[in-house]
Amino acid sequence: MRNVYRHVFPQVHKELNGWISMAQKIPNEELRKQALASIEGKTFHCEGGSIYSMLAGSRWKEAVKFIVAYQTISDYLDNLCDRSTSLDPQDFRMLHQSMTDALTPGNPMHDYYQYREERNDGGYLEALVITCQEVLEGQPDYSIVHPYVTQLGDLYNDLQVHKHVVEEERIPRLQTWFSEQKTVKGLKWYEFSACTGSTLGIFCLVSYTLGGTMNERLAKKVAESYFPFLQGLHILLDYYIDQQEDKEEGDLNFCSYYENEQEMRKRFVYFVEETKARTKTLPDAHFHQMIQEGLVGMYLADRKVSRLENAKVFVRELLNASGRKAKFFHFQTKVYHKLKPGKSL
């Protein structure tokens, strides 16, 4: 963590400053507003994802470049779908074609704004896509992970389309989508949706590839270890801390579909236990365990948690289930928030 704070996070902010500078020059007012808001409000996503750059060895800066660019696309498009002017699934699908192209060097650029009124971003989204492609291009082992990252990416894109349409269509679309999945057992539709909403599996696979340690066996193990449970834990925690905010804004929140607080706690603990069991078999198992414990500790240290009912019981139970390091991250994050006042996660 000392290395992360001293080296990785400063590199993240160096990359983000470049994108902020470009976003400030976007000609269209609405696109400029959403691009800047997505970085300002979601910097934590890039910081957290960038921890995977440690798996890339000496090429960690390239990993940070990819992670920041790809996560910035994700956060920007989330704002365009969630806070902007469209509710058109065709528009959302076309916007997210950019994330598919970002994972596939050689893919041509598309007219990503084809189905919306706001179109002139000064080349901002294309530049993000090209940056991702340039990092991945020429990596000899990327062909091994490409099927896995595109599968995770396609699931992510599907989620973003289904959950942002007009309100009365969201749940039926998500439930139908879930019913079509034949390989995921033991999850509720809203849990499956959460599992598809994380970019961590992609960051892990790309970082290992840049580090030169990728092979077919590792790619398969990472994909199976991260999806569904670690990714699900990640996004469920994100929804957990946003419950009050989403209620006020009228936004969909997957945690609201649990029957009660007790069931939600039980399922979160289940996700923790499944994540532990699966990541234990990976190389660098202590690193992946750190990710799981870090997610729990850092999310539950967010200021927004204090606004939730029964939060103390929930936090205590999940920290106990997660392990000693989760409590360390919880404490450190609270200190970090005090030393660096600002927005929540």
Angstrom CA distances, 318 to 15, 225, 269, stand at 34, 20, 6
pTM for the predicted model, two decimal places: 0.94
Contact (Cβ atoms closer than 8 angstroms) between residue 67 and residue 52:
yes
105: nearest Cα among 132, 68, 75, 78:
132
Residue 322 confidence (pLDDT) above 70: yes
Residue 230 confidence (pLDDT) above 70: yes
The CA distance from 37 to 126, in Å, is: 18
Backbone angles phi, psi at 37, to 5 degrees: -65, -35
Q: How many CB atoms lie within 10 A of CB 309?
A: 10
The CA distance from 318 to 326, in Å, is: 9
Contact (Cβ atoms closer than 8 angstroms) between residue 30 and residue 121:
no
Average pLDDT along the chain: 94
Contact (Cβ atoms closer than 8 angstroms) between residue 33 and residue 124:
no
- Report the pLDDT averaged over residues 281-299: 95
Residues in contact with 172: Cβ distance below 8 Å, sequence separation at least 6, in sequence order: none
pLDDT tens string 156-188: 999 999 999 999 999 999 999 999 997 788 999
| pLDDT of the residue at 341 | 54
- Report the pLDDT averaged over residues 294-319: 93
With vertex at residue 327, the alpha carbon angle to CA 323 and CA 332, rounded to the nearest 5 degrees, is: 140
Residue 127 confidence (pLDDT) above 80: yes
The single-letter DSSP state of residue 345 is -
pLDDT tens string 193-205: 999 999 999 999 9
Residue 295's pLDDT band (cuts 50, 70, 90): very high
The single-letter DSSP state of residue 280 is T
Q: Hey, what amino acid is at 32? A: R
Which own/partner contact pairs does 26-32 have at CB distance under 8 Å and 24+ positions apart? Answer: 26/120, 26/121, 26/122, 26/124, 27/120, 27/121, 27/122, 28/118, 28/119, 28/120, 28/121, 30/84, 30/85, 30/118, 31/80, 31/118, 31/120, 31/121, 31/124, 32/121
| pLDDT of the residue at 300 | 95
